[in-house]
Amino acid sequence: MAIREVREMGDDVLEKQCKPVTKMTLRTKILIEDMLDTMYEKMGVGLAAPQVGILKQIVVIDVGGGPIVLINPEIVETSGEQTGEEGCLSVPGKWGIVTRPNYVKVRALNENMEEFEIEGEELLARAFCHEIDHLGGHLYVEKVEGELHDSPAYNEGDMEYEVEE
């Protein structure tokens, strides 16, 4: 498919509320494929539709177990806490310390518009929270404890999140 331009902090589209997806269309299927291709090309572990300029409630994630597509996701349960470095493809070259739940359960629709629930811990829980925040117009920088800092090894191929052990 196609690699889409990733919008960066300061772009108004990243501050807007996304609209729910009401039906699966060919255009939406292409968007999901493009989002996955873009996420993999940029070496991220997650990407939300507003990051490619589309105000739809769609998230793609892959923390190493294969792609996860979440349509109209909502967090229905959280527990525990983890604090670690977090970055974002929309804030290139920067990292910050963010505290997130260590366990997250999400309810969403799949690509067939069927409801399902998925659970994640550690990195996957962090990714769920980070990407779903994008759908409400929020970037992780709003949650950073202390200052943002430059990633010393930053290049276009760095991972989007890193969890401190």
Catalytic positions, written as ranges: 131
For residue 73, give the nearest of 27, 37, 120, 9 by alpha carbon: 120
Distance of alpha carbon 88 from alpha carbon 33, whole angstroms: 20
For residue 14, give the nearest of 120, 121, 115, 138 by alpha carbon: 138
Burial of 159 (0-12, 13-18, 19+ CB in 10 A): exposed
Here the tokens at position 40 are: 């993999």
Distance of alpha carbon 105 from alpha carbon 116, whole angstroms: 10
Distance of alpha carbon 55 from alpha carbon 39, whole angstroms: 17
